[in-house]
Amino acid sequence: MMQSGRIAAAIELLDTILDDRRPADAVANAYFRDRRYIGGGDRREIGAMVWDVLRTRRRLGWWLVGGGGEPSPRLLVVASLLFGGARLAEIERFFGVERFAAKPLSRPERGVLAALEGGRLDHPDMPDGVRLEVPDWLVPRLAARFGPELHAEMAAMSEQAPLDLRVNLLKGTREDAAAALARDGHPARPTRWSPWGLRLAARQNITQSAAFRDGLVEIQDEGSQLVARLAGAGPGLRVADYCAGAAGKTLAMAMTMENKGHIVACDVSAPRLEAAVKRLRRAGVHNVERHLLEAGDKWVKRQERRFDRVLVDAPCTGTGTWRRNPDARARLTEADLQELTVKQA
């Protein structure tokens, strides 16, 4: 793709993400799946532009609104490029130049953007919520939690997330997986804490790699791998994964159980449990039963004291995924937090 097409696609993808309740990575995956003509290199360039905006959206919006503009996807993408060191005249050449380019910048848009050229993204007049890229209502809670480390913690949350994989020991070793990934152009290094983890430096499309297709690796953050490890699910045990979702931790525990014993993957969402089927099959797991939890379900009461392990990954705010899905920061409300504490209890 030409750079004009990449910028136009970044604007379109950003617009789609901001208008969708799904996590940004899920929206991006669907966007590119529907546009298979976009090559891998172009996908990385487009994704990088969009994620740069999502990580700095409140600060970019502060500048744009202060300059009399609107934080539209068009202006957010261009403002991000300007704060990244690009020149407005260079960027403007990619608008309206060919069929797939975004429409030319208007005079008012150009006026707002010209004031940002050569500037620094941070400004001392920014409110804390803007500077930290978090909702205003959350700032006092974060300050109480982190104290003097608040700015350092939030800066870390704005860094690019690595891509963690869990090696499926039912199919091979961590060395086997690393070698298979390297052959497909995905060099990985062992994770620090998880004995089954491999880490790639940045977001990559590994779903087409032989290691993924063959079930040798699964995409799973190292923290989630550690939860599965701490569960201590060994061969022959009976285990309940009570909030299984698409069964990421179920898969990890099936591995530690060596496919022996019994796991019941429970969830209140039928689509999530249905999505687990393909993953279980690809991983070669056959000791898992799925159970849909519904109102009035007496199954739970009948199962009292019948499990050796019960893992509850309760619904939460998802702040731990902010590096991967920085769009979630803007969507979290105080009402969400209050509702979730009731659900967790």
Per-residue pLDDT tens digits for 272-307: 999 999 999 999 999 999 999 998 889 999 999 999
CB-based contact 329:133 (threshold 8 Å):
yes
What is the model's pTM? Answer: 0.85
pLDDT band at 208 (very low <50, low <70, confident <90, very high): confident
Position 178 pLDDT exceeds 80: yes
What are the residues facing 262 on neighbouring strands?
238
Per DSSP, the three-state class of 198 is: strand
Q: Evaluate if residue 202 carries a pLDDT over 80.
A: no
User: 78 vs 106, 151, 158, 170, 285, CA distance in Å?
Assistant: 13, 26, 19, 47, 47
Instruction: Tell me what pLDDT residue 25 has.
Output: 87
Instruction: Output the CA–CA distances (angstroms, integers) from residue 126 to 102, 120, 135, in the order listed.
Output: 31, 12, 13
Residue 203 pLDDT exceeds 80: no
- The one-character DSSP state at 149 is G
23, 45, 49, 112, 143 from 59: Cα distances, Å: 21, 22, 16, 15, 19
The 8-class DSSP code of residue 303 comes to: T
- Could you give the CA distance from residue 231 to residue 229 in angstroms, rounded to a whole number? 5
Amino acid residing at 258: E
Residues near 59 by beta carbon (within 8 Å), at least 6 away in sequence: 121, 122, 126, 130, 131, 133
How do 217-219 and 189-190 pair as beta strands?
unpaired
Q: What is the pLDDT of residue 280?
A: 96
Pairing between β-strand 288-292 and β-strand 238-241 as defined by DSSP bridges: unpaired
Average pLDDT over residues 156-181: 95
| Other Cβ atoms within 10 Å of 331 Cβ, number | 13
Q: Find the radius of gyration of the CA atoms of the chain.
A: 23
The angle, 0 to 180 degrees and rounded to 10, between the axes of the packed helices 3-18 and 40-55 is 50
> Using an 8 Å Cβ cutoff, are 253 and 232 in contact?
no
Q: What pLDDT shows up at residue 205?
A: 80
Buried-exposed string 105-139: b where 16+ CB fall within 10 A, e elsewhere? beeebeebbebbeeeebeeeebeebbbbbbbeebb
Whole-number Å distance between alpha carbons of 243 and 250: 10
Gap between the Cα atoms of 166 and 229, Å rounded: 12
Does the pLDDT of residue 326 top 90, yes or no? Answer: yes
Distance, in Å, from the CA atom of 294 to the CA atom of 270, rounded to the nearest integer, reads 10
What's the rounded Cα separation, in Å, for the pair 319 and 157? Answer: 9
What are the tokens at 90?
Answer: 């260079």
pLDDT band with cut points at 50, 70 and 90 for residue 75: very high
Strand ranges of the sheet holding 189-190, from the earlier edge strand across to the other edge: 189-190, 197-200, 163-167, 217-219
CA dihedral 27, 121, 131, 56 (to 10 degrees): 0
Mean pLDDT of 159-182: 95
Residue 40 has pLDDT above 90, yes or no: no
Average pLDDT estimate for 319-337: 91
